[in-house]
Amino acid sequence: MKKKKIVFHSNHSKAFTGFGKNTKNVLRYLFKTGKYEIVEFANGLKWSDPSLNNMPWKTIGSLPDDPNLLQKLNQDPQLGRAAGYGAQMVDKIIAQEKPDLYIGSEDIWAFNGYTEQEWWNKTNCMIWTTLDSLPILPDAVNKASKIKNYYVWSSFAEKALNDMGHNHVKTLHGAIDCSTFYKLEEDQRLNLRSRYGITQNDFVIGFVFRNQLRKSVPNLLDGFKMFMDQNPKTNAKLLLHTHWAEGWDIPRFLNEKKINPSLILTTYFCESCGAYEVRNFTGQKQQCRSCGAKTLNTTNTKKGVSEKQLNEIYNLMDVYCHPFTSGGQEIPIQEAKLTELITLVTNYSCGEDSCNEQSGGIPLEWTEYREPGTQFIKASTSPFSIAKNLKKVYGMKPEKRIAQGKKSREYVIQEYSDQSIGQKLEKIIDDLPEVSWDFDLSFKPRDPNYNPPAIKDDNEWIKNLYKNILHKDVDENDSGHKHWIQRLNTDMNRNSVLQYFRSVAQKENNEHNKISIKDSLENNDNKKALFFCSGDFNIIFAATSLFESFKEKYPMTDLYFCCHPEFFSILNGNPYIKKCLPLADGMDDELSMIDNGFDYYFNINNSILKNISI
């Protein structure tokens, strides 16, 4: 029985990110079933990165190997970001691997243009994305009708898109490895607390987070202070597991809010020996008490604790509090629940899934504010609600706190575990139709010379342009179709729209006809020179008289001749030419040639050969 082939496109499965953890967990599950042929398309790594050869499944990087192309792309921030998400290489991996299913699991903007590609929906295509704020991103809404298998990480986003009429959008949470996080035995927990000077009577409130502005640190500090002021006899401490050298200036807040720094704990990690310490913040580059090196810094995404160590840190806590403005899933909430902590979570965005009654969590109230520019609704978590609910947990009878903690763990195992999510994904894959790769994904030359017939209806006229000029089938729900109808009704006439379509067709033809420099050259150590000639038969024939003297002056240089392909026959058998290359758009402009990387391959004495062009 033929295995279905899956191309899974996301952060690399070894990346310490939410998407990376999800990739690792779901691919490990699918791989163990033995039912699928898996190809991981790993963002942030080069196509042929040698580190990918040791993966259990086939893994290919999403960035081009060509350093010159990468340099060019990175000169434009928008192109550079798109390349980082795989835009340059996604067509190649689809054509090469011919998958039965493409799964893209990233932020929605990572897939710009994908629904317009030749292969989209010819094979099965699935987008599994995070959406965290209202109103839902226009990109996520506009793409919805073209994404047949559309999954989001939170029910918040599902409900919002369903309300807009996109009833096929469903929730599939990111997968959590539940074996890593669990509640330690009480004697182990007390020994850990003793190691870091935390007594049995201390009430430790924890927050695990990347120190980003969307994590509501000021609100948490205000709520903590209110709780302390209202309950002065509590031995409360706040454990902030984060990097203090980025984002919020926490020491400044403590001073401003008159919070005693001795009540604030944090996690230090030693880059030299891998040990960690939980203590008050005293700056970066502190001395490690395990190895003595001054390489002890607050934990961060580059150098931080292992998941085993993080599990111990959760076990130091008595309650977990996660105030934030919005988020895609906020994985630390699920990790805390797995250690049987009661979690206080802002009741907005993905937080709605983690603070309802069945989750064992407690909702934190919030007020709305708007993000400048995007006008997204964001949550400002109420410090009063934080203080009130900390008091609620503090005053709980031990048996109730234990029961609610167990409920929290069971909820995550049922709704978020790698087994649960893996089984759901397995069913999604198995229910998809078989794919027969009998369709042609090769580039179809555009027709910039097409003249449309006299079609009265603008909708049909626009569809006709797409079909016959750009060779794309669109309907009236397509965002491009809607755009051109709007332009026809406002500031453009049919002739200007037609001219634009023709210019796009010509540009796409030119882009496709560009030669791949690296693939066209012979792989040897010789220097290389390019002779460019855009002339006719007579000029090319005259140019051949220069070849012998050039070879005498540069005997160890391979000469490549570039002209219109119909004149290649003139040069067949010429002993001085290594190879003929087809003329490409822009070769008559030296700056354009440099910009496209020709100077990297064609040089003599480290300078471009400038004076043999005709």
Percentage, residues of the chain above pLDDT 70: 94
Q: Which two tokens stand for residue 504?
A: 């796009």
User: What value does the mean pLDDT take over residues 357-386?
Assistant: 96
CATH number at residue 208: 3.40.50.2000
Does one domain contain both 407 and 273? yes
State mean pLDDT over 117-135.
Answer: 94
Q: Is pLDDT at 580 greater than 90 in this prediction?
A: no
pLDDT at 609: 41
- Return the CATH number at 108: 3.40.50.11930
Residue 277: how many CB atoms within 10 A of its CB? 17
* φ and ψ of 568, to 5 deg: -60, -35
Pairing of strands 203-208, 170-171: unpaired
Percent of the chain with pLDDT strictly greater than 90: 70
When pLDDT is cut at 50, 70 and 90, the band that residue 614 belongs to is very low
Instruction: Give 216: exposed, middle or buried? Use CB within 10 Å, 0-12, 13-18, 19+.
Output: buried
Interior/surface letters 532-553, b for 16+ CB within 10 angstroms, e for the rest: bbeeeeeebeebbeebeebbee
Cα(127)–Cα(54) distance, rounded to whole angstroms?
27
Asked if residue 239 and residue 120 are part of one domain, the reply reads: no
Q: Give me the domain span that covers residue 530.
A: 517-601
Model confidence at 612: pLDDT above 90: no
Task: Indicate whether 256 and 380 sit together in one domain.
Answer: yes
CB 287 within 8 A of CB 308: no
Q: State the pLDDT at residue 389.
A: 98
pLDDT reading at 600 higher than 70: no
DSSP per-residue letters across 348-371:
SGGGGGTSSGGGT-EEEPEEEEE-
- pLDDT reported for residue 105: 98
| CB burial of residue 515 (10 Å; 0-12, 13-18, 19+) | middle
Q: Which residues pair with 265 in a beta bridge?
A: 239, 280
Range of lowest pLDDT (8-22, 235-249, 361-375, 509-523): 509-523
Q: At what angle do helices 186-195 and 307-315 cross, to 10 degrees?
A: 90
What is residue 516's predicted lDDT score, i.e. its pLDDT? 59
Where does the pLDDT of residue 604 fall: very low under 50, low under 70, confident under 90, or very high at 90 and above? very low
pLDDT band at 527 (very low <50, low <70, confident <90, very high): confident
Distance CA(546)–CA(537), nearest Å, equals 16
Which of 91-105, 128-142, 445-459, 499-513 is predicted with the least confidence, judged by mean pLDDT?
Answer: 499-513
Among 32, 58, 38, 36, smallest CA distance to 47 is for 58
The mean pLDDT of 482-505, rounded to a whole number, is 93
Residues 123, 90: one domain?
yes
Tens-place pLDDT, residues 188-232 = 999 999 999 999 999 999 999 999 999 999 999 999 999 999 999
Supply φ then ψ for residue 542, to 5 degrees. Answer: -65, -35
Query: Are residues 297 and 405 both part of a single domain?
Result: yes
Whether 451 is covered by a domain: the verdict is no
pLDDT in tens, 256-279: 999 999 999 999 999 999 999 999
DSSP 371-422: -TTT--EEEEE-HHHHHHHHHHHHTS-HHHHHHHHHHHHHHHHHHTBHHHHH
Please determine, for residue 393, whether its predicted confidence score (pLDDT) is greater than 90.
Answer: yes
195 domain-assigned: yes
Q: Find all residues with CB under 8 Å of 468, minimum gap 6, and list them.
A: 447, 450, 452
Residue 418 inside a domain? The answer is no
Q: So what's the pLDDT on residue 603?
A: 56
Q: Say whether both 275 and 288 belong to one domain.
A: yes
Q: Is residue 181 part of a domain?
A: no
Q: How confident is the model at residue 599 (pLDDT cuts 50, 70, 90)?
A: low
Ranking 231-235, 392-396, 610-614 by mean pLDDT, the lowest is 610-614
* Domain-embedded: residue 28: yes
Which residues have C-beta within 8 Å of that of residue 429, sequence separation ≥ 6? 4, 6, 30, 36, 101
Helices 398-415, 418-431: axis angle to 10 degrees equals 30
**Which pair of structure tokens corresponds to residue 82?**
């798109």
Q: With 50 as the cut, is the pLDDT of residue 613 above it?
A: no
Regarding whether 98 and 75 lie in a shared domain, the answer is yes
Question: Do 195 and 54 sit in the same domain of this protein?
Answer: no
Whether 606 is covered by a domain: the verdict is no
Say if residue 611's pLDDT is above 50: no
Does residue 470 surpass a pLDDT of 70? Answer: yes
CA dihedral 496, 502, 505, 511 (to 10 degrees): -90
Q: Are residues 507 and 526 in the same domain?
A: no
Residue 368 has which token pair? 């709305």
Residues 313 and 249 occupy one common structural domain = yes
3-state helix, strand, coil in the chain (%, to 5): 40, 20, 40
> What pLDDT does 489 receive?
94
243 and 381 together in one domain = yes
Q: Is a pLDDT exceeding 80 seen at residue 428? A: yes
Could you tell me whether strands 4-11 and 36-46 are parallel, antiparallel, or unpaired per DSSP bridges? parallel
Residue 338, SS3 per DSSP = helix
**Residue 519 near residue 92, CB atoms below 8 Å:** no
- What's the predicted TM-score (pTM) here? 0.77
Same domain, residue pair 553 and 492? no
Number of folded domains in the chain? 4
Does 608 reside within a domain?
no
Tens of pLDDT along 47-74? 999 999 999 999 999 999 988 888 878 8
Q: Is residue 100 part of a domain?
A: yes
